[in-house]
Amino acid sequence: MWYNIIKQYYDNGHPTYNTESVKVFVVARYITVDEYKQITGVTYKAD
């Protein structure tokens, strides 16, 4: 459920949805590491 919402905001260029801010959803377990890569095209790397 969260994947579709996050992806839509990211794809539409919402100003607060960038590769760094989407990491928050991985940490909160709203999306998986694989879903993060599908959304952003970047391999997840914890800071």
* Spans of all domains in the chain: 2-40
Residue 35's pLDDT is 99
Residue 28's pLDDT is 98
Question: How many helices, marked H, and strands, marked E, lie in the chain?
Answer: 3, 0
pLDDT digits (tens, 9 = 90+) for 3-37: 999 999 999 999 999 999 999 999 999 999 999 99
Q: In this model, does residue 42 exceed pLDDT 90?
A: yes
Rounded Cα–Cα distance for residues 13 and 34 (Å): 20
pLDDT band per the 50, 70, 90 thresholds, residue 47: confident
